[in-house]
Each structure stands twice: as structure tokens, then as C-alpha cells.
Amino acid sequence: MSAAARLVRDYLTGLPAGCTPERVCADSPLAGDIYGSEFLTRPVFLGHEESRRAGARLSRLYDLLLTLPDRFHGGDLRAFTAALGWPAVRTGAALRADGRPRVLPRSARADLYRERDGFRLLELNGGSPLGGWDIALLNHALLREPYIASFAAEHGLRFTDGTEVLLDLWEESFPDFDRSANPVVALVEWPGSYASMEPHLRRMAALLAPHGIDAVPCHLGEVEYRADGVHVAGRRVDLVHRWFVINDVADTEDVALLAPLSRAADRGLVSLFTPLENEVYGSKAALALLSDTRNRSLFDAGELEVIDGLLPWTRLVRDEKTEVAGERVDLVRFALAHREDLVLKASSSHSGLDVLAGWRTSAGEWSAQVRAAVGGPSILQRRVRPVPEEFPAPGGGPTEPGVLTWGVFLAGHGYGGAYLRGTPEVDSGVISSGKGGRLGTMFLFDDTDDEADR
């Protein structure tokens, strides 16, 4: 039994009647808006050393993603985005006019399932518009439950503060950013999304204020560009934290709205966390390039170990031959014959959108969707079967199995915290707030002895 499993067993064994952490969480600031109002019925535990290893592996995989334009297209970013299936309008919005790559902040969140032999990567969301920076509010809420507080003290549990991680990332990414100088930071959404995101952005602003950050929630249409820099609400901005995503850019009018901000950042008038270019490397199509056996000669043994250790079988949906378990097969025919073992995903979507689980789809619908996806910006991915964990039933009932999506942050070159979604539907195709997913958080424990026994 692993150290984490023993900790869960001890937690459940000592759990007193009437202890319902989900009710405490429902009174936390995170209830509602982007997170929904359903919460896991206990905290999740991860060893500190295991979190360190996971962060290091994700960092190495991210390094590989950053090299793909060079490996496949001689450094031509436009050719690379075209190969990923990006529309020209989005490529124009994300890249410099001269095509030169930017120096990008190392910010991403990996969505992982945990199989019996370790974590498997479902997708990697690159950039800054990531849910979960404020998840420590849930840890604080859980620690108001006396049993959890005493259990945490007994076992030396601790957690990562995502606000501190974010501040460290800003300072690491921009040498001129000085949090002690009371900088002004604009938390910028897309105009059409601002109304729904405003409560979340205001909560982020409140979390940043004790650190000396004057954070201003706004949308891109409210940003002003002057000779001395970028302004919002009459204040000159030191840093823009981008909350909108590449999919918000749909036409030339959207590009025109975005262009002044990109130009100001490229001229050094404001720090931009992060440029849309970051999202190039968060495309699921990029993961398909890493997974495709035809490309293995481009990577050395150490790189292949990282790829094989994290990625499930993933392919762009094309009418062509591919390799599965050492056998050459017709990709479309294989997909139609193995519906129960595959997932169809849009390559640039997020938040669990545009995901079709074959085992939850009729044969006719699956066939129609796979055939329609051929040649487009979609991927097929091997079904990952997460190992269920035990959770108390809501309201304090008997335990029931549940599965988790682990949202693990890559901050710089290592682990930057995590937030979780869970569901009692162990065969769920996707776990998200829009599909009944329960929000949860994690505590780290000392697994040094467990690591020494390996």
C-alpha cells in the first residue's frame, strides 16, 4: 500500500460522524462563478517528493514542446501553427508580424489522470488564463473543520499557495517587476466573457492586495494605449495578466482589438503575462506530434522516456496509416473499431469542452464525428482509466469510489500546486464543473521514507 493510500485509510478510519468538509467548502469564496458549487467530500493527499518528480517531468515535457517548431519546421512558427490546424486569423493574433519567437513565461497547467503505474497527461494548458491560482482558499476553508485541522497537524500536512506561485512567476518572467514597489496589474478578460469572469477576477485582486499589488479587473476594450505605456482606469499598468484565450479571437475585428496590447508588450511598454503565443504549445495537436511513432527519430533516449512515461497514445485525426502497439493500421478504421478505448478531442479547446468519449457514445454518432474530424484540428487519444479512490458519500454517508482529474501547475521548472476535479462516475469521459465535477484541493505530506524504500 502506498503512503498516500495509507494516509487516506487513516483519514477515513478516524473520520467522525457529522464531519462534512463539502459543507465548509460550500461556504468558501470559491463557491459559484467559474468553479460551480459542488465539492469533494475529503481533501486529497500527495507526497512532497512525488509532487517534485511530477513537476520535473512536466517541465521536461514542456521543454520538448518548445522545441517542436525547430524540430519540424526549422523554427518557422507560422508553419508550425498551420500544421497544428490553427486558423490564419489566430496565428496572426498570436505571433509577431516578423515571425520571430518571443521569450515566453513558463506557465502551464497539466490535466492528468492517475493510472496504476503513474500519472498520464490528458492535456497541457499553456499560458496564464488558468483556473486554480486561488485554490488555497479551499485549503483554508478545510482547515476550519476541527478534524481536518487536527489530522493535518498530526501528519505535518501543508499546501501550496497559488497566489505566491503566481507572484514568483511574474518576478521570474519579468526582471523589472518588483512586487515591493506596489505595481499596478491589469487582470484583463475578453469583453464578451468579462461579465461572467468579473467575480473571479475581483477575488484574485483581493488575494493580491495584501502582497502590495494594485490589481485592476477589466476587459480588453477598457485598456488605453498612450505614449508612456498602457493605462486602465486612469492608472499606468506595469503588468497585464491575460485571462482570455486564443479561441476568443475569431475574426479580423478581434485581431484589431488585441494588436495594440501585443505591440505595447513587444516594445517593452508593459509586461504581458502571457502572450497568446504561449497557447501554441498547449495545443493537443502538439502532444500528437510527440506521441506519433513516425517522429521518434527526432528525440533522444531520455526525451523518449519522458514522452512514453507521460503521454497516452495520441494522434491527429487523418486518413492515413499509423502505428498501434507495433502494428501498422488504418487510423480511421482503427478508431471506428475501438470506440470503447478512445476519446475524440478538439485540439485547441479547454475546460472539458469538445470532448467525445467513445464508450459513452453510440456507434453511429462516433462514426459520424470521427469521419467529420478527419483532416481538421482534432485528435484521437487512448482512453486513460484512472484508479478510483475512496470518498465519503455527500452528507457523511458510506464511502464510494471516485475518480480525479489532477490539475497540476508547472511554474518555472517545477511543481507549482494543483487543484482537482472529481466525480463518482468512474467511467466519466470528462470531469468538469459543467458536467457535475466536484472541486477539490490537495495537501502535501512528507513521503521521504516511502521514497527511500523504492
Mention the CATH class of domain 313-382.
Answer: alpha beta
Is the separation of the CB atoms in 341 and 358 below 8 Å? yes
Q: Can you list the positions of beta strands (E) in 98-208?
A: 107-115, 118-126, 184-189
In this structure, are residues 314 and 380 in contact, taking their beta carbons and an 8 Å threshold? Answer: yes
Radius of gyration of the chain (CA): 22
Which string of DSSP letters, residue by residue, matches 205-246? Answer: HHHHGGGT-EEEEEEGGG-EEETTEEEETTEE-SEEEE---G
Q: How far apart are CA 169 and CA 13, in angstroms?
A: 39
Supply the angle between the helices 3-14 and 146-155 in degrees, to the nearest 10: 140
Residues 340, 346, 349: CA angle, nearest 5 degrees: 125
Residues 415, 438: Cα–Cα separation, whole Å: 23
H or E element, residue 328:
strand 327-330
pLDDT at 196: 94
What SS3 class is residue 425? coil
Domain parsing of the chain, residue ranges: 3-282+387-452, 313-382
Bond into 160 cis (ω within 30): no
Q: For residue 222, which of 180, 200, 252, 194 has the smallest C-alpha distance?
A: 194
* Contact by Cβ (8 Å): 21, 148: yes
**How does pLDDT run along the chain (454 residues), one tens digit per residue?**
789 999 999 999 999 998 999 999 999 999 988 898 999 999 999 999 999 999 999 999 999 999 999 999 999 999 999 998 888 998 999 998 887 889 999 999 999 999 998 999 999 998 999 999 999 999 999 999 999 999 999 999 999 999 999 999 999 999 999 999 999 999 999 999 999 999 999 999 999 999 999 999 999 999 999 999 999 999 999 999 999 999 899 899 999 999 999 999 999 999 999 999 999 999 999 999 999 999 999 999 999 999 999 999 999 999 999 999 999 999 999 999 999 999 999 987 655 558 999 999 999 999 999 999 999 999 999 999 999 999 999 988 889 999 999 999 999 999 999 999 999 988 877 776 566 689 999 999 999 876 555 5
3-state secondary structure of 444: strand
> Pairing state of beta strands 235-236 and 229-232?
antiparallel
Q: Which amino acid is at 124?
A: L
Specify the pLDDT at position 397.
Answer: 80
* CA atoms of 257 and 249, how far apart (whole Å): 9
Q: What is the structure's pLDDT at 349?
A: 64
**Grid cell locating 1:** 500500500
The pLDDT assigned to 453 comes to 54
Distance separating alpha carbons of residues 215 and 209, to the nearest angstrom: 7
Burial of 230 (0-12, 13-18, 19+ CB in 10 A): buried
Q: Are 50 and 414 in contact (CB under 8 A)?
A: no
105 and 166 in contact (C-beta within 8 Å)? no
Q: What is the pLDDT of residue 450?
A: 65
